[in-house]
Amino acid sequence: MNLVGAPIDRVDGRRKITGTARYAAETPLPGLTYAVMVESTIPAGTIAAVDAAAATRASGVIAVLTYENAPKVEQHKVAGMTDRNLPLLQDRIVRYDRQPVAVVVADTFERATDAASLVRIRYDTSVPALSLAHGSGYHPEHSHGDEPSVYERGNVDAAFAGADVKIDRTYTTPVEHHNPMEPHATVATWDGDVLTVYDATQGVFGTRSRLAVAFGIPPANVRVVCPFVGGGFGSKGSAWAHTVLAAMAARAVKRPVKLVLARPQMFGSVGYRPATIQRVTLGAKRDGTLVSTLHEVRSQTSIFDEFVEPSAELTKMLYAVPNVRTINTVVPLNAATPTFMRAPGESSGSFALESAMDELAYAVGLDPLEVRLRNHADSDPSKQLPFSSKSLRECYSVGAERFGWSRRVPRARSMRDGGLLVGMGVASATYPTNRSAASALVRLSSDGTAHVFAGTQDLGTGAYTVFSQVAAEELGIPVSSVRFELGDTNFPMGPVSGGSQTTASVGNAVSVAARSARDRAIGLALGDPQSSLHGHDADAIDVRDGRIFLRDRPDVGDTYAAILGRHPQGEIEERGDARPGDEKTAFSMHAFGAQFAEVRVDPELGTVRVVKMVGAFASGRILNAKTARSQYLGGMVWGLSMALHEITRTDARSGRIMNANLADYLVPVNKDVPSDFEAYIVPEDDPNVNPLGVKGIGEIGIVGAAAAIANAVYHATGTRVRDLPIQPEKLV
């Protein structure tokens, strides 16, 4: 059977299109109450006085929690990449604009909202640290994982000094907020010392451990449930303050509490992509081959926690350069703590590196694609390891052909369409293949169906679907006979759905569990005198459509339903555990891709329209061509958005975010995305990366996309915009 790879419709799709998929805020509980957060209106200072009297006495109000009366909880993180220090009403210090300072609980949403507006807070303000460019920073211990924040191979200074051609440019990217369509939401309920939380999260287990730490209870006392997530993009990868506050409020009022962030609060305490200032220098020979690369990254963090935007990681491995130095500096500001946002580091870093590569192409008079080919890394120059597989050359050629790169006239500002300037740009994409330990449980029943459980999440990625396919293929049953459940800490543990690692992690666990259930069922048949397979050899067996049979004599067989019908329990359960092996010591593992963009620029108005985008990606084995294409396309839309739309504006004097809504914070609407917009799957067989042969696909789609568009804008106009987003005023 070839269920894996088949472009089947999403198995959870019917629930989503009929409105029956239940997201966190839609959990009905008897006696439910509504909590609304009040946020600070200054970025730095202390709370001088709280007047909660009017709010407390307003109709329907059950509780008003502030630092004066909030129960004591642990607000410091313990460990783990996704864990954060949280502001939990434990002190009077205000560290950023929109920090939670009170929580109002009432019997209805309207009353809670009304009463929240009555909470009066007076502040003693202090001078906030707001400048990334001028603030004092430091080198963190690590830029990402175990990577040092200062890295050098060879001698960059000497090589750059002696280079024929030198590029030395600074690129900047702004603060961006994820803004998934589903606002963060938590429904919390206590039964004695046992807490159940329905949470919009990318990691039920991370949320569980954060809650356990906050309340000083064992993780076993906390259950986190999340069958559907209305988008995350990294913002739901950590447990944030509102989740703990909802549980705190529920404990205080002794009733279930629902806390949903209002859209403006989505710009508050749930993370964002930090602004970056990136200096890139390229030293090259006249033929375009690189001799040195320097990538200095300055990014912001908060004054109470550390997050590093790892923008220079890809610079270490993308091109075959002998001399490379990368440096990360973080600057603590009076702003909320930043977090992972779709391809953290690779997206912002690729804008800088791939723009600089474009500048190099013009400097040496080569086609931008040719410059990249001349610097192709056949092995990973930073780890000095072979790639587990790499199909970047194929991505370039497939993308160029589908895009029609040969139409491009080399000189900038040389192509026109009526009164509009025409430009075409290209950029490389890469994203590391991550994997964590994960487990899954398969239950085979006497009705011939399989019930599969894994404590993972589906953010719209297709996890429900591809894992159903994997289980079906291993078991030899139709996908429709598999019921896959996820998003519950009662299921076997899975990692956070981040770093494009879910399929590589959980997929392999599902595969192991399903195979082991199949083998056990086969064993039952072979040992069962009532089975026609009794006494045969396991090696001679095949399974298809729920039927176990002799490969050489297909008429001799038995079905799962019959085998399990004769089994005393009527069902069997097998657990599968999968974890990374030693492949990381033998191989460098990355997905690769190529992005092509065509723009039209109005020379008088400076407006940019993307009229065509083509991405070509090679990410190992593709489990579902339909959902994979959607992931790639979505990533490319994010790249378009990063290039032209997204910027969170903070007032330089007040330190307040000024555009905290979806009218002023722009994301693409349907009309912004051209019809001529396609992602191509470049076939790639990777026997080394993990048993399923899969690499991540959720993030690579955004990588390089902003640079491809910026490069197209340069090609159209002759104006190099090094500061995102590319807004009209930067082109006139």
Partner 1 sequence: MPVDVGPRAGPHPVPVTLTINGMRHDLTIEPRVTLLDALREYANLPGTKKGCDQGTCGACTVLVNGRRIDSCLTLAIMHTGARITTIEGLADGDRLHPMQAAFLEHDGFQCGYCTPGQILSAVALLAEKRPLDDASIREFMSGNICRCGAYKNIVDAVAAAGKQNV
Q: Which of residues 122-181 bind partner 1 (CB under 8 A)?
A: 122, 179-181
Rounded-to-integer distance, Cα 108 and Cα 32, Å: 9
Rounded-to-integer distance, Cα 81 and Cα 639, Å: 25
Any residues with CB less than 8 A from the CB of 26 and at least 6 apart, and which? none
220 touches partner 1 by CB under 8 A: no
- Cβ proximity to partner 1: between 110 and 193 the closer is 110
Rounded-to-integer distance, Cα 634 and Cα 266, Å: 21
What 3-state class would DSSP assign to 17? helix
Torsion of Cα atoms, 73 then 77 then 78 then 80, to 10°: 140
Rounded-to-integer distance, Cα 52 and Cα 45, Å: 19
Q: Is 513 left (phi over 0), alpha (psi -120 to 50) or beta?
A: alpha
Any residues with CB less than 8 A from the CB of 569 and at least 6 apart, and which? none
- Cβ proximity to partner 1: between 108 and 530 the closer is 108
Q: In the bound complex, what is the minimum distance in angstroms from residue 679's beta carbon to partner 1? A: 9
- Cβ proximity to partner 1: between 665 and 714 the closer is 665
- Cβ proximity to partner 1: between 300 and 627 the closer is 627
Rounded-to-integer distance, Cα 293 and Cα 304, Å: 33
Any residues with CB less than 8 A from the CB of 173 and at least 6 apart, and which? 273, 275, 276, 278, 348, 351, 352, 642, 724
State both tokens at 423. Answer: 């430009």
Please give the biggest Cα pair distance in the chain. Answer: 85
Q: In the bound complex, what is the minimum distance in angstroms from residue 463's beta carbon to partner 1? A: 11
59 touches partner 1 by CB under 8 A: yes
Rounded-to-integer distance, Cα 187 and Cα 185, Å: 7
- Cβ proximity to partner 1: between 490 and 661 the closer is 661
260 touches partner 1 by CB under 8 A: yes
Which among 346-354, 378-386, 480-488, 663-671 is the span making contact with partner 1, rule CB under 8 A? 663-671
Residues β-bridged to residue 452: 442, 484
Q: Which amino acid is at 144?
A: H
Member of 292, 631, 648, 690 binding partner 1 (CB under 8 A): 631
Member of 84, 92, 95, 111 binding partner 1 (CB under 8 A): 111
Residues β-bridged to residue 279: 170, 296
- Cβ proximity to partner 1: between 105 and 459 the closer is 459
Which among 118-126, 372-380, 490-498, 521-529 is the span making contact with partner 1, rule CB under 8 A? 118-126
Member of 6, 21, 320, 385 binding partner 1 (CB under 8 A): 21
460 touches partner 1 by CB under 8 A: yes
Residue 640: Cβ-neighbour burial (10 angstroms; 0-12, 13-18, 19+): buried
- Cβ proximity to partner 1: between 209 and 461 the closer is 461
State both tokens at 380. Answer: 């990973």
Member of 64, 94, 118, 713 binding partner 1 (CB under 8 A): 118
Q: In the bound complex, what is the minimum distance in angstroms from residue 520's beta carbon to partner 1? A: 35
Task: Kindly give the interhelix angle for 241-253 and 204-215, rounded to the nearest 10 degrees.
Answer: 50
Member of 81, 109, 606, 607 binding partner 1 (CB under 8 A): 109
Q: Restricting to residues 25-44, which ones interact with partner 1 according to CB under 8 A?
A: 25-26, 28
- Cβ proximity to partner 1: between 476 and 701 the closer is 701
Member of 637, 689, 697, 708 binding partner 1 (CB under 8 A): 637
Residues β-bridged to residue 482: 450
Member of 43, 87, 140, 183 binding partner 1 (CB under 8 A): 183
- CA 4 vs CA 275, 295, 507, 673: distances in Å: 40, 40, 11, 30
What 3-state class would DSSP assign to 546? coil
Which among 62-70, 102-110, 367-375, 489-497 is the span making contact with partner 1, rule CB under 8 A? 102-110
Q: Restricting to residues 438-457, which ones interact with partner 1 according to CB under 8 A?
A: none
262 touches partner 1 by CB under 8 A: yes
Q: In the bound complex, what is the minimum distance in angstroms from residue 632's beta carbon to partner 1? A: 10
Give catalytic status of residue 699 as yes or no. Answer: yes
Q: Which residues of 228-242 are buried (b: 16+ CB within 10 A; e: fewer)?
A: bbbbbbbbbbbbbbb
Residues β-bridged to residue 444: 450, 572
- Cβ proximity to partner 1: between 36 and 543 the closer is 36
Member of 155, 490, 661, 683 binding partner 1 (CB under 8 A): 661
Member of 171, 198, 215, 228 binding partner 1 (CB under 8 A): 228
Q: Restricting to residues 348-387, which ones interact with partner 1 according to CB under 8 A?
A: none
Q: Restricting to residues 668-727, which ones interact with partner 1 according to CB under 8 A?
A: 668-671, 673, 675, 677-678
Q: How many CA atoms lie within 13 A of 644 on its CB side?
A: 27
Q: In the bound complex, what is the minimum distance in angstroms from residue 41's beta carbon to partner 1? A: 15
Member of 357, 429, 444, 459 binding partner 1 (CB under 8 A): 459
C-alpha angle 419/603/701, rounded to 5°? 100
Among candidate residues 110, 573, 699, 729, the one labeled active-site is 699
Which among 51-59, 85-93, 543-551, 568-576 is the span making contact with partner 1, rule CB under 8 A? 51-59
By CB under 8 A, the count of residues binding partner 1 is 75
Q: Restricting to residues 461-480, which ones interact with partner 1 according to CB under 8 A?
A: 461-462
- Cβ proximity to partner 1: between 54 and 561 the closer is 54
Minimal CA–CA distance to 688: which of 584, 575, 602, 617?
584
End-to-end CA distance of the chain: 58
620 touches partner 1 by CB under 8 A: no
The set of catalytic residues is 699
